[in-house]
Amino acid sequence: MRLSAAKLHLLALSSVCILASADAGSIADAKDWNFSDIKLTIANGSAARITASTNVTGLPAAQTAP
């Protein structure tokens, strides 16, 4: 998954569930994105990589092995 903000600002995602992905992917050039009440199930346990972005909040950290 790769999200590129381009001209998208003030994004808010709430109660979103992504059930399966091999990798968390990346978000670039985002501004004022807020995620709340989300659950990501990522096969390799990685966290989304945030680059060249400001005020991106609410994404979970990388998963730890059980």
Strand partners, 18: 40
Q: What is the pTM of this model?
A: 0.68
Sign of the CA dihedral 65, 54, 29, 14? positive
Q: How does pLDDT run across 3-58, given as a tens digit for each residue?
A: 555 555 666 766 666 556 888 888 888 889 888 877 777 888 888 899 999 999 99
Domain boundaries, the chain: 2-57
Contacts of 58 (CB under 8 A, 6+ apart): 34, 35, 36, 38
Q: Specify whether the CB–CB gap between 62 and 38 falls below 8 A.
A: no
Kindly report the number of other CB atoms within 10 A of residue 48's CB atom.
20
